[in-house]
Chains A and B, each alone.
Chain A
């Protein structure tokens, strides 16, 4: 079991190192296969751990420490992996979906100059993500947390000749660094109080902390989670991150990394439970994000950006779920979301690949007729996303809405937001679907550049994921059948308040499905059949197209002042004062020297005069002092 976990963790790292080290001695294609293999080995390891854990029957999982990673005084942190239900679930998702996406990349990246680098990065990412989920203590979790950010940076900026890609990569990293920093601060508090970052010790400590302190800790963790999961206000990097290759978007910015925030909340829920306020803030944040992202998604014309906003929105659901206490619900949605969102991205990738990189949905009209498989796959994903039964999204999303509804007035607000989100989801998803795959004139631009359906390496993973997107939700149909919840209960027991009665479940499901369908219908009317004119609200539209001016606001609030401050410091402090003060003093000394030098007239009488004066003064002083 433990060996499986280590295997799972190390295989992708070994893959990354092997590809890097081999350099040009390995062919591009083989690099791709090597990477794929390493991730599937990891999946094998994950399965091994899963089976082992099942038979082992351990309640809280097993920690295996390789060696002490960091130690100072009483504080010490091992390089250890944790195998427990939560981590195994994540391992399975990460390595499984990851393996499929890496496989898909072989086709997608075929022909790129730097395929090797790509696959090395991909393996590195999978390793980092596994470290994040397997890390046996908070510090290793943070290490994985940072490393996924790094891999994300590397992969977003993969096409580094594009300034926009580089800028997006930097933005993603910096935003994530903010999250890392707040998490680190939260850890400092824990260390100060318990000298430990072990999960159990820390959670136990949290119980003894004052409410302010524990709220601060939770807030720090939430900062990290929000940054990683692109929740408002730290969300602006995610749409830009679509500059990366599409499989990257599928893997990192849809299936795995961005959902790490949910994992973090689930993992550290004992702390959040001590800090209910913060937990509710998280839920509210999720609600806000899911609405805002849904709205923005309505007007985007870049296929990947639409899906990206949809991702933000769906993660908003997960946060909502975790925030109200149904950690398992959040995790369940995380899993199904991984399936269908990866699917959507990969289907979109097929289209983009077929169109040689074109991402503007207005130029894709009619592609569906040329790519039927892709179209079906996309449709499966879209339906899962909207959450219509029996597609996977239905089961997971409705559980969250139901849980939210259960809470008092705040819960109602959250549930209303979530239901609004369901409507929006239907609308923007099918707007996308109808524009891209709807019936219509195949645009001229497509004809010339179209490559047809992609290669098998791409279609097979898409197919598998399409199936998973359909059936993935069936493993849990709360409240009647809930293996996921039970599986996770030892580590992420759902809060009592989040245990919704059956009536609520039904109510939530009905409402959500109805609203989702309404959205789909509206989209059909607007875009599928063009029966209705898209309402003209230029102000709103412009605001949404500018993503509600978040970027502009951050630019004006943070970047510009900081840059200006740096400029001012440099121009008005560093150069004139710090750098010049030394030379100025030196100038002063030199001037004094020139003064002394002028005394040295070369005239004998001056010299004698000074000698005589010196004598006289010395004598006077001596006489006076004696």
Chain B
């Protein structure tokens, strides 16, 4: 039996994290913060997975969460690589400035 608050509360937190992360991606221009916001979104998903795993009492959720962690790390790795490359190319750290391609 789950102690403390019910699974729903955790899920509420997860939803909030997902939403706030999305908001971050939507309103921030610094690619680094955008990447951080993406992490928050993924963590929201992770929390949901683990909460459901606990709720269902089956391990898939936890495994999934672990894998997601690795994936998140990978994304960050590539994302940071891009940021570094941007920096090297003396490009602005502002996603709004990256609008060479449009139309």
Contact = CB atoms under 8 A, between A and B. Distances in A.
Contacts of B99: 601-604
Contact of B96 (A600, A605, A609): A605
B26 A600 contact: no
Contacts of A533: none
Interface in B64-103: 95-96, 98-103
Contacts of B29: 605
B17 interface: no
A608 B26 contact: yes
B101 A612 contact: no
A602 B26 contact: no
A422 to B, nearest CB: 91
B22 interface: yes
B58 to A, nearest CB: 25
B49 to A, nearest CB: 18
Contact of B98 (A600, A604, A609, A612): A604
Contacts of A601: 99, 102
Interface string A600-626: 111111001100100000000000000
B26 A603 contact: no
The size class of the interface chain A forms with chain B is: 10 to 19
Contact of A600 (B22, B34, B95, B102): B102
B27 interface: yes
B23 to A, nearest CB: 9
Nearest to B95: A604
A597 interface: yes
Contacts of A612: 22, 25-26
A597 B103 CA distance: 5
A597 to B, nearest CB: 5
Contacts of B96: 603-605
A295 to B, nearest CB: 81
B100 A605 contact: no
Interface in A567-604: 597, 600-604
Given A612-B22, A612-B26, A605 B95 contact: yes
Nearest to B94: A604
Q: Please list the 5 inter-chain residue pairs (A to B) with the smallest Cβ-Cβ separation, ordered nearest first.
A: A602-B102, A602-B99, A604-B95, A608-B25, A597-B103
A600 B99 CA distance: 10
B95 A603 contact: yes
A602 B95 contact: no
B22 A602 contact: no
A385 to B, nearest CB: 88
Interface in B13-55: 22, 25-27, 29, 34
Given A605-B95, A605-B96, A600 B25 contact: no
A609 B26 CA distance: 6
A602 to B, nearest CB: 2
A608 B98 CA distance: 14
B62 to A, nearest CB: 26
A191 to B, nearest CB: 66
A597 B27 CA distance: 22
Nearest to B27: A605
Nearest to A605: B26
Nearest to B101: A602
B94 to A, nearest CB: 10
14 contacts: A597-B103, A600-B103, A602-B100, A602-B103, A603-B96, A603-B99, A603-B102, A604-B34, A604-B98, A605-B25, A605-B29, A608-B22, A609-B26, A612-B26
A612 B22 CA distance: 8
Contacts of A597: 103
Nearest to A594: B103
Contacts of B27: 605
Contacts of B22: 608, 612
A603 B99 CA distance: 6
Contacts of A605: 25-27, 29, 95-96
B98 to A, nearest CB: 7
A603 B28 CA distance: 12
Contacts of A602: 98-103
A182 B100 CA distance: 73
A612 B19 CA distance: 10
Contacts of A608: 22, 25-26
Contacts of A609: 26
A163 to B, nearest CB: 60
A197 to B, nearest CB: 70
B45 to A, nearest CB: 13
Nearest to B22: A612
Nearest to B28: A605
A602 B101 CA distance: 6
A602 B100 CA distance: 7
A603 B97 CA distance: 8
Contacts of B103: 597, 600, 602
A94 to B, nearest CB: 79
Contacts of B100: 602
Nearest to B25: A608
A609 B95 CA distance: 14
A612 B34 CA distance: 15
A600 B100 CA distance: 12
A601 B96 CA distance: 10
A552 B98 CA distance: 77
A158 B97 CA distance: 80
A603 to B, nearest CB: 5
B18 to A, nearest CB: 10
Nearest to A597: B103
B42 to A, nearest CB: 15
Contacts of B34: 604
Most chain A C-beta atoms within 10 Å of own C-beta, residue among B26, B100, B101: B26
B22 to A, nearest CB: 6
Interface string B2-13: 000000000000
A605 B30 CA distance: 11
Contacts of B98: 602, 604
Given A600-B102, A602-B103, A612-B22, 6 more contacts: A601-B102, A602-B99, A603-B99, A605-B25, A608-B25, A612-B26
